[in-house]
Structure 1
Amino acid sequence: MPDNSNVSVAVLLPCYNEEVTIGKVVRDFKAALSNADIYVYDNNSTDHTAEIATSEGAIVRKEPRQGKGNVIRAMFEDIDADVYVMADGDDTYPADAAPAMVDKVLEGYDMVIGDRLSSTYFQENKRPFHNFGNRLVCGSINGLFHANVTDIMTGYRAFSFTFVKTYPVLSHGFEVETEMTIHSLNNNLRLFEMPIQYRDRPEGSVSKLDTVGDGIKVMSTIFRMIREYKPLPFFGGLGAVLGIIGIVLCGSVTVDFWHTGMVARFPTLIGAVMLVIAGLLLFVAGIILDVMAKNDRKAFIIDANQFAMLKRNAK
Structure 2
Amino acid sequence: MSSQQSSETDSAFTFDDLAVVMGTYNEEDAIATVLEDIDSVTDGRAEVVCVDGSSDRTPEIAREHGATVIEQEPQGYGVAVRAAVLAPERPVVVTTDCDDTYPMERLPDFLAEINDGADVVSGDRLYYGAEEMPGLNKLGNELFALLASVAMGKRVHDTTTGMRAYRRGLLHQIRWTENTGLSAELLMRPLMRGYDVRERPIEYDERKGETKLDPFEGGAAIAKSILKVAFEERLR
State the TM-score, normalizing by the size of structure 2: 0.89
Output the CA distance in 2 between the equivalents of 1:38 and 1:6.
11
**8 A Cα contact 1:14 1:89, kept in partner:** yes
- Is 1:192 aligned to 2:198, yes or no? yes
**Residue type of the partner of 2:194?**
N
Please list the CA deviations of residues 190-240 of structure 1 after superposition, one character each: whole Å capped at 9, or x if unmatched: 0111111101113xx10111100101101111222233223xxxxxxxxxx
Shift of 1:7: 4.7
**Any residues of structure 2 matched to 1:1-315 within 5 Å, and which?**
3-5=12-14, 7-34=16-43, 35-42=45-52, 44-121=53-130, 123-126=131-134, 128-173=135-180, 175-202=181-208, 205-230=209-234, 290=235, 293=236
In structure 1, C-alpha distance between the alignment counterparts of 2:13 and 2:217, rounded to whole Å:
41
Distance 2:46 2:174 in 1: 22
Q: Is the contact between residue 144 and residue 223 of structure 2 (CA under 8 Å) also seen in structure 1?
A: yes
Mapped to 2, the partners of 1:77 and 1:64 lie a distance apart of 17
> 1:109 Cα deviation (Å)?
0.8
Change in CA separation of 1:97 and 1:178 when aligned onto 2, cut-off 3 Å: same
Query: Aligned partners of 2:16 and 2:57: how far apart in 1?
Result: 32
Letter in 1 for 2:202: I
Q: Could you say which residue in structure 2 is the equivalent of 1:259?
A: none
Where do 5+ consecutive residues of structure 1 fail to align?
231-289, 294-315
Report deviation, 1:143.
2.0
**Which one-letter code corresponds to 2:93 in the other structure?**
Y
CA contact (8 A) 1:7 1:82 kept: no
Shift of 1:5: 4.5
Identity of aligned residues (%): 28
- Distance in 2 (CA, whole Å) between partners of 1:39 and 1:49 is 13
* Bigger relative contact order, structure 1 or 2 (CA pairs below 8 A, ≥6 apart): 2
Query: Does the CA contact (< 8 Å) of 2:148 and 2:227 recur in 1?
Result: no
Asked if the contact 1:7/1:83 (under 8 Å) is kept, the reply is no
Maintained 8 Å contact 2:85/2:93 = no
Match of 2:4 in 1: none
Superposed CA RMSD in Å reads: 1.6
Larger helix proportion, structure 1 or 2? 1
**8 Å Cα contact 1:117/1:150 also seen in 2:** yes
Q: Which protein is bigger by CA-based radius of gyration?
A: 1
Q: Contact (CA 8 Å) 1:76, 1:165: kept in 2 or not? A: no
Report the number of matched residues: 225
Contact kept, 8 Å, 1:124 with 1:199, in 2: the verdict is yes
- C-alpha distance in 1 between matches for 2:179 and 2:66: 28
TM-score norm. by structure 1 comes to 0.68
What are structure 2's unaligned runs of at least 5 residues?
1-10
Shift of 1:156: 0.5
Q: 1:258: which partner in 2?
A: none
